[in-house]
Amino acid sequence: MRTNIEKHIYLPYEVKERITKNAQKVDIHALLKPIDLIDRIKNFADEISHNYINFNLEETLPEIVILHNFPIDFPLPNTPMDHNIDYKQLKFCLYSLLLTAKIFKLFPLTYHGENDDCLYRSVAPLEYAKDDNQSAHGGSRYFPVHMDLPDRPLLGDEVKRIAPAPDYSIFSCIRNPNNIPTDIYILDDILKTLDSSLVDILCSKRFKITTPSSFDVSSRKKEPCVYPLVKKYNEKFICRYDELNCFAVDSEAEHALNLFKSKIDQANPIRISINPGEIMLFSNQKTVHSRASFSPNYDGTDRWLIRLYGIVNSSQKLLKNCLYRNKKHVVV
């Protein structure tokens, strides 16, 4: 384990008990549209941050954090085989996700046009998508390396009407019987193996980025915008790389992009496999991630994660500039 990159937090039993009691008391509607609930759990989250987080949240969050010992919903529902999720069965999971966002001073949000505007995204293999390598719902196909929402402003970019990309992805595990990992690559590690002239090219505005297919067709950008693929923010590299949605605009940029991709292919990822009662969060901009192919059974027992996006405080202020609709949770 790389302790400077990957942090583990073990919640004590008494905190788990309090999470259990608090979650039992919360109405499911408050969990699904939690704009008020987010404020109500602030004190509890601050207490956990203060007592159990041994790194400075005000400076910079680690690239990867895994929290252990959250309560597990019981009875554990079957892994869904379609998009109909009965979230009433997942109160501990949803409460724990929101609490984790608040512990790390992240603001939960979702993006209009993706996931039916629902704050939580179910990540489970669906049989109809088994050959789809562009969806988290595929299973038997490798899900290629990417960051989420590559066509959005990154940290430090100017934000006008379009909301920024998420800073963190937060995943809770409902079930993961075969320990299927998420493979995470630290961008700084990849780029230090590339010649600086190639990094300069990756930092230049020579890459077309298309909207991922997880967005409704009507919400995708009509024309792909041209961006730098990589930039420096607070002494670290961040990027908008998505293997399926990035295209170089000239041959020099294409050469740099191909070498960047081959360095990722050669690198050893940090493999994080979470189990029920565990939550993982990782930086969506300082890392890229993928998932290896596996063999789902499509019988209710497959790997099942629930995802929540979070943005840091500084990005939250920028949301004022964006078009968004407030439906008791923030959709931007």
Residues that bind Fe ion (CB under 5 A): 148
d(CA 145, CA 130): 18
Could you please report the per-residue DSSP string of 95-129? HHHHHHHHHTTPEEEB-TTBGGG-SSEEE---GGG
Q: How many residues does the chain have?
A: 332
Identify which of 212, 189, 205 has the alpha carbon closest to the alpha carbon of residue 264: 189
Q: What are phi and psi of 28, to 5 degrees?
A: -60, -35
- Report the nearest approach of Fe ion to the CB of residue 244 (Å): 11
Query: Smaller CB distance to Fe ion: residue 11 or 280?
Result: 280
- Ranges of H-type helices in the chain: 13-25, 28-32, 35-40, 42-52, 91-103, 187-191, 196-202, 251-266, 313-318
The tokens describing 78, both together, are: 């079957």
Beta carbons of 142 and 290 less than 8 angstroms apart: yes
Query: Smaller CB distance to Fe ion: residue 22 or 135?
Result: 135
- Report the nearest approach of Fe ion to the CB of residue 292 (Å): 14
- Report the nearest approach of Fe ion to the CB of residue 232 (Å): 23
Which amino acid, one-letter code, is at 21? K
The tokens describing 212, both together, are: 């991922």
Query: Smaller CB distance to Fe ion: residue 96 or 284?
Result: 284
- Report the nearest approach of Fe ion to the CB of residue 181 (Å): 14
Query: Smaller CB distance to Fe ion: residue 148 or 151?
Result: 148
Burial of 314 (0-12, 13-18, 19+ CB in 10 A): exposed
Query: Smaller CB distance to Fe ion: residue 148 or 278?
Result: 148
Query: Smaller CB distance to Fe ion: residue 11 or 169?
Result: 169
- Report the nearest approach of Fe ion to the CB of residue 83 (Å): 18
- Report the nearest approach of Fe ion to the CB of residue 289 (Å): 6
Query: Smaller CB distance to Fe ion: residue 148 or 243?
Result: 148
Our measurement of the distance from residue 149's CA atom to the centroid of its chain's CA atoms, rounded to an integer in Å, reads 10
Closest residue to Fe ion, judged by C-beta, is: 148
- Report the nearest approach of Fe ion to the CB of residue 47 (Å): 31
Query: Smaller CB distance to Fe ion: residue 143 or 207?
Result: 143
CA distances to 102, 229, 264, 288, 311 from 201, in Å:
37, 9, 17, 19, 28
d(CA 130, CA 298): 10
- Report the nearest approach of Fe ion to the CB of residue 271 (Å): 15
